Amino acid sequence: MAEIDARLRENVHQLGELLGQTIRTQYGDEFLDKIERIRKGAKAARRGSKEGAQQLSETLNNLEDDELLPVARAFNQFLNLANIAEQYHRIRRRTSVEPEPFESRVLGELLQRLLSGGHGKDELARQLGRLDIELVLTAHPTEVARRTLIQKYDAIAAELAQQDHSDLTDNERQQISERLRRLVAEAWHTEEIRRTRPTPVDEAKWGFAVIEHSLWQAVPNFMRQADIALQAATGFRLPLEAAPVRFASWMGGDRDGNPNVTAAVTREVLLLSRWMAADLYLRDIDQLAAGLSMQEASPELCAAVGKTAEPYRALLKQLRERLRATRRWAQEALHSQTQASEAVLHDNRDLLEPLQLCYRSLHECGMGVIADGPLLDCLRRAATFGLFLVRLDVRQDASRHAAALNEITDYLGLGSYAEWDEDRRLQFLLTELENRRPLLPEHFKPSADTAEVLATCREVAQAPAASLGSYVISMAGACSDVLAVQLLLKESGLQRPMRVVPLFETLADLDNAGPVIERLLGIKGYRARLHGPQEVMIGYSDSSKDAGTTAAAWAQYRAQEALVDICKAHDVELLLFHGRGGTVGRGGGPAHAAILSQPPGSVAGRFRTTEQGEMIRFKFGLPDIAEQNLNLYLAAVLEATLLPPPAPQPAWREMMDKLAADGVAGYRAVVRETPEFVEYFRQATPEQELGRLPLGSRPAKRRAGGVESLRAIPWIFAWTQTRLMLPAWLGWDRALNNALQRNEADLLAQMREQWPFFRTRIDMLEMVLSKADEAIAGLYDERLVDPALQPLGAHLRDLLSQACACVLGLTQQSQLLGHSPETLESITVRNTYLDPLHLLQAELLARSRMRENQADTPLEQALLVSVAGIAAGLRNTG
């Protein structure tokens, strides 16, 4: 382990040295010395040195205005380079005596465990081939790095891999060193912060780029390794059409509170997706046509292409022409309504069948070794990505559908839909869903908002079924919310089934999820229209913002239990869609542990979850990292399906009820019942300044108002910047403290030992508390908060201290993360670079608030760079 750590430290040191040289070249030795004094002061201050703290404070306070931006940029880049080194460290070359990482071993070890536990080989092969995992890429606005910088960071990681060979010549090492020096300089001289907000189409293109540069390579490699592990354990291979992990997207489809996502945007993104898919397959087919020059072919293939010297090339050239026609049509359709020719590919079978024919022929003719190369990789991609690359979800708020129907019923003289009770709404909706005549007359002229809702429904109706995922209804609370969407889709011409998915978000909605689905499944007409599973989305972000993570986590768990039982009773398959964010406060944390902590029966071979913002880059940005994370998802879903966790004991449930009640009371006592809380929040954090950061295309607020109007992401992002991390732990302090006061420590320890759900919650709480920092949060208060409000800040820091003490008592440790020295060391190393950024940010916020019209000034740029740097240093930021 010491050698591994030494190699990581060596890479961090090397990149830091190169950055230092770049800074010296631009600003000179004196400026670089100042950076080094700040770094050393921060390091000494962390070790308790008063002199170090004084040196750090004095150096930062004495910075000239024109030094603020380059100092912020220096520490931001140090943290980004440390991230690159750490990310590469996870996938670096290993010697023959070093063990493979857990992520690479996990599936093979699980299959052996399952076999030892009595599961049959054919059962395991069938179950693995049938798994249905869908990762839904979302564009939540915490991805602060620009795409051009991400590409440079990926290139730096590639060069680290190049130099990780023991047999390099001196000349080769020198060339790698020069390329690294050049890349670090390019990154330094590239502006970190976008000047303008990305559009929804920009966000979609960013998602496509992740597929093109990483997942396109990672998926076939991941499938190859899964195939090898399955064959080694059972003797069976994965079917050619198996696609246990697929991808969907909200980029260009999520219009909840985002007026920038329109029906026209959704159409454009769907076409861009088809263009990109055709373009990527064309690259594969060109490579295959060049390689498959063999003459011998099966009678089936010869019959398909006729007499030719190179039958495989002849078949692939036909497919290539159809892909070109598809790409050409998608390009033209972006600019005008263009009729697709017969050559355009619409059905994925038309892509798969020629490839499968080549594959069968090669195997029949004794050339299986050729078939199982790039051709198999292309087949795996075709099964996973299809002709549409990702399936686009559509999301809209329930109130928008209700408003549209209210306008329609009012126009038709039927009364006010908005004023009807649930029974009256259901009666109307069910009658109209069964009615063969249209509800809307052709001359109906809706308002702009209703016209947009109807236009979106028309785009859904016209798009190929395989290009779309689900229609998600945010803030759903009743059966009528689901039926309203079905009626609007019917009126827009949809003549095929589509999953319409209620999203239960607040604490009350989660508690009501079971009764709503129970009533929905009891409706005869609804059951007739339900093709496939009943999908339900569980909201993590808004439930946590509403009630705190203690009560929200237990409500999410109980909602899932209820939904499993209800769907089982109705003999309907259930698909749970988990709206998890990147942070603990939004349901984040290691996916493997999270999946294994779900209620028994809730992961039955199916799993759907969001992957958001910066977490997409950290988990899927590099092919090897993506492979590791895909392995974790595959193994976790297989294990949760075949080895589900135990159901909680009655005593555990009773304890969680008490913890949740205390947790929500403690959380709301601060957030809702403290009159000065909102004002303190706005003074102590960069919440208002974050609204100026050109991150995502979506506004930071749903509407005007206080904390309740904020989206969950900026709410958590703001507290993360100050290191108070309040949304992730507030409520746990009271809940755990009360339990310990009741002498229930032994029961808590038993729950942590035997119940994966509770263990995962405590592990995530411990991780976020280890990143929280009372002293840093206190510095923001000293510099930014009115004296009259500072006692509230002191109280919150006291609650943080109590939460830490409770977790230490529960885990029987003297230090948070004492059981995980590597993670602790990673946080410690980052603090050396984070501390100056926090101090600098507090100073920049103070200066910015004293001046007006700071947009596009060096001070404003430095402030935004500090936000980006802290986000990079803490990783799971929003």
Assign a CATH topology to domain 263-388.
de novo design (two linked rop proteins) (1.20.1440)
pLDDT at 196: 77
Return the pLDDT at 855.
65
Choosing from 34, 545, 619, 771, the catalytic residue is 545
Question: pLDDT per residue over 543-602, tens digit each?
Answer: 788 899 999 999 999 999 999 999 999 999 999 999 886 555 455 567 888 899 999 999
pLDDT in tens, 25-75: 999 999 999 999 998 888 888 888 888 888 888 888 888 888 999 999 999
pLDDT given for residue 1 in this prediction: 33
Helix pair angle (821-850, 774-784), 10° resolution = 0
User: How does residue 542 score in pLDDT terms, banded at 50, 70 and 90?
Assistant: confident
Taking only the tens place, the pLDDT of each residue in 143-162 is: 555 678 888 988 998 898 89
Q: Across residues 644-656, what is the average pLDDT?
A: 96
Q: Give tens-digit pLDDT for 814-862.
A: 999 888 887 888 888 788 889 999 999 998 999 888 876 666 688 888 8
Percent of the chain with pLDDT strictly greater than 90: 71
Distance, in Å, from the CA atom of 680 to the CA atom of 718, rounded to the nearest integer, reads: 12
> Which residue of the set 34, 43, 140, 152 is catalytic?
140
Domain boundaries defined on the chain: 263-388, 398-476+485-498, 505-589, 650-819
Give the pLDDT mean for 633-659: 96
pLDDT of amino acid 3: 40
pLDDT at 704: 53
Asked if 16 and 81 touch (Cβ cutoff 8 Å), the reply is yes
Backbone conformation region of residue 648, classed left if phi is above 0, alpha if psi is from -120 to 50, else beta: beta
What does R_g of the chain's alpha carbons equal in angstroms? 28
| This prediction's pTM | 0.93
**Which residue would you say has higher pLDDT here, 551 or 697?**
551
How confident is the prediction for the chain on average, in pLDDT?
Answer: 91
Q: How confident is the model at residue 705 (pLDDT cuts 50, 70, 90)?
A: low
Q: What is the mean pLDDT of residues 752-781?
A: 95
Count the Cβ atoms, other than its own, within 10 Å of residue 6.
10
Q: How far is CA 331 from CA 270, 278, 643, in A?
A: 11, 11, 48
How much is the average pLDDT of 767-777? 94
What tokens appear for 513 in the block? Answer: 């999820």
Residue 523 pLDDT exceeds 50: yes
Interior angle at CA 767, CA 764 and CA 771, nearest 5: 140
pLDDT, one tens digit per residue, over 426-477 is 999 999 999 999 999 888 999 999 999 999 999 999 999 999 999 999 999 9
761 pLDDT higher than 80: yes
- Would you state the structure tokens that stand for residue 438, as one six-digit string? 């249209």
More confident position, 459 or 711 = 459
Residue 529 structure tokens = 């229209």
381, pLDDT greater than 90: yes
Question: Tell me, what's the pLDDT at 269?
Answer: 97
Nearest to 513 by CA among 467, 468, 476, 466: 476
Per-residue confidence (pLDDT) for residue 878, from 0 to 100:
42
* pLDDT surpassing 80 at residue 614: no
Instruction: Answer yes or no: is pLDDT of 280 > 60.
Output: yes
Over range 278-294, report the average pLDDT.
Answer: 97
Determine the average pLDDT of the residues in 379-406. 97
Q: Which of 317-321, 397-401, 873-877 has the lowest mean pLDDT?
A: 873-877
The DSSP code sequence of 656-693 is: HHHHHHHHHHHHHHHHTT-TTHHHHHHHHSSHHHHTTS
**615 Cβ partners below 8 Å, 6+ apart?**
582, 588, 876
Q: What are phi and psi of 780, to 5 degrees?
A: -60, -45
DSSP per residue, 542-606:
HHHHHH-HHHHHHHHHHHHHHHHHHHHHTT--EEEEEE--SSGGGT-S-HHHHHHTSPTTS-SSE
Give me the pLDDT at residue 586, please.
52
pLDDT in tens, 178-218: 999 999 999 999 987 777 778 899 899 989 999 999 999 99
pLDDT at res. 142: 46
Place of tokens 């502006």: 191
Handedness of CA 772, 778, 784, 789 (dihedral sign): positive
- Mean pLDDT score, 380-393: 97
- DSSP element (H, E) containing 739: helix 732-741
Q: Active-site residue 658, yes or no?
A: no
Q: What percent of the chain has pLDDT over 70?
A: 94
Does 317 participate in catalysis according to the annotation?
no
